[in-house]
Amino acid sequence: MMHIKTLLLGFVLGLLPITAMAGSGHDHGHGHGHSPAPVTQETAKENAAQIVSALVTRDKLENSWLLITAASIEKITVKGTPEWLVIFVNSNIADTEKQTLYVYLTLGGEYIAANFTGN
């Protein structure tokens, strides 16, 4: 499972210009001295949808993910840092462990990570 997380993280870092990484392996270690202005919930949803689309384009996710909209969007705190968590649920995926995709963004809407575990 860690290999899949690493591949997803590497892919999005290489593809998206909005990519911002806090540390390797999705550790959420934020040491940035500056942050973009917080985005709205709707913008966070749009940014996460763009990430899902990019993952489909790179064959990291099945095409059926293109038809899925965010099931939920919430602000969470990870290691004292607020983030957006956007969750997508795709019941068309046979493997139940891969039906829920968690996309993490900074409050400024920048990509942090995406995975199927929610960790």
**How would residue 60 be classed by pLDDT, with cut points 50, 70 and 90?**
very high
Mean pLDDT of 35-52: 94
Find all residues with CB under 8 Å of 61, minimum gap 6, and list them.
Answer: 52, 55, 101
pLDDT at 6: 45
pLDDT tens for 6-40 read 444 444 445 444 433 333 344 444 445 566 799 99
Measured between alpha carbons, how far is 111 from 17 in angstroms, rounded to an integer?
A: 9
pLDDT at 9: 44
pLDDT tens for 73-108 read 999 999 999 999 999 999 999 999 999 999 999 999
